């Protein structure tokens, strides 16, 4: 099986086993079918070949969790446990809900339940974001929507090519009417659904770039 790109030498990881304390260690080597971690310096944890363990590690803005098996134990200096590469893993975006203020214009339409997720509607209405994160956004709309509606959004994220809008689906979580310049508008909070890992990464990169710019302006 292929080595996941987040597994690399010197990466700290946590190994969890039922009935034992969590074991914090570090990756010492990577091979074709598995990776080696530094074994504890005492008998506090013994991992027999074939034992199933839970592994967790953090890389920059994401946490990875997976289940794998112990391949073998290699005594020596240092002593090592060899673990198999996982067939699958969970990626948890640790900073997906960090928000930045951003007034981004977008087009949108309500996505009908029978059309989700394969037939997006034509985005014929306009709105603007108040803030955005990897997990959702605060919007201002001219027309009312209902909590539970799914909105199809097309927006141009700064740094992307203008002719390639980002296409997103946002589930309405809250709606609040507001008087803005004597006109009723609707502040709408949405949580993104079906967002790809690439889209989430692009939004988070934009958010932290915007936060960095704000910090520079205040200094």
pLDDT digits (tens, 9 = 90+) for 132-172: 998 899 999 999 999 999 999 999 998 766 668 999 999 99
Q: What six digits make up the tokens of 212?
A: 């960095």
pLDDT digits (tens, 9 = 90+) for 8-65: 998 899 998 877 777 889 999 999 999 999 997 665 567 889 999 999 988 766 788 9
For residue 96, the model assigns a pLDDT of 66
CA distances from 154 to 102, 107, 123, 157, 187 (A): 15, 5, 7, 10, 18
- CATH of segment(s) 12-93: 2.30.110.10
For residue 135, the model assigns a pLDDT of 87
Q: What six digits make up the tokens of 134?
A: 């990897």
Question: pTM for the full model?
Answer: 0.60
Topology (CATH) of 100-218 = Thrombin, subunit H (2.40.10)
The full length of the chain comes to 219
Share of the chain above pLDDT 90, in %: 53
Q: Where are the domains of the chain?
A: 12-93, 100-218
pLDDT digits (tens, 9 = 90+) for 73-126: 998 888 999 999 998 998 876 666 788 999 999 999 999 988 988 899 999 999
For residue 95, the model assigns a pLDDT of 65
CA distances from 176 to 61, 150, 179, 185 (A): 32, 17, 10, 8
CA torsion, points 10, 16, 19, 21, in degrees to nearest 10? 40
């Amino acid at each position: 099986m292929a080595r996941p790109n987040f597994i690399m030498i010197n990466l700290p990881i946590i190994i969890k086993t039922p009935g034992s304390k969590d074991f914090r260690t570090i990756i010492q080597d990577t091979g074709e079918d598995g990776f080696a971690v530094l074994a504890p310096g005492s008998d506090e944890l013994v991992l027999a070949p074939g034992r199933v363990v839970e592994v967790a590690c953090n890389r920059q803005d994401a946490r990875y969790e997976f289940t794998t098996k112990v391949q073998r134990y290699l005594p020596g200096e240092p002593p090592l446990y060899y673990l198999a590469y996982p067939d699958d893993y969970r990626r948890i975006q640790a900073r997906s809900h960090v928000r930045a203020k951003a007034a981004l214009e977008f087009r949108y339409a309500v996505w009908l339940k029978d059309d989700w997720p394969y037939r997006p509607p034509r985005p014929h209405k306009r709105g603007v974001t108040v803030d955005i994160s990897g997990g959702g956004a605060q919007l201002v709309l001219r027309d009312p929507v209902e909590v539970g509606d799914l909105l199809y959004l097309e927006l141009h994220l700064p740094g992307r090519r203008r002719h390639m809008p980002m296409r997103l689906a946002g589930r309405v979580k809250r709606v609040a009417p507001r008087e803005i310049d004597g006109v009723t508008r609707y502040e709408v909070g949405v949580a993104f659904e079906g967002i790809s890992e690439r889209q989430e990464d692009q939004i988070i990169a934009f958010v932290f770039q915007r936060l960095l710019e704000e910090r520079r302006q205040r200094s």
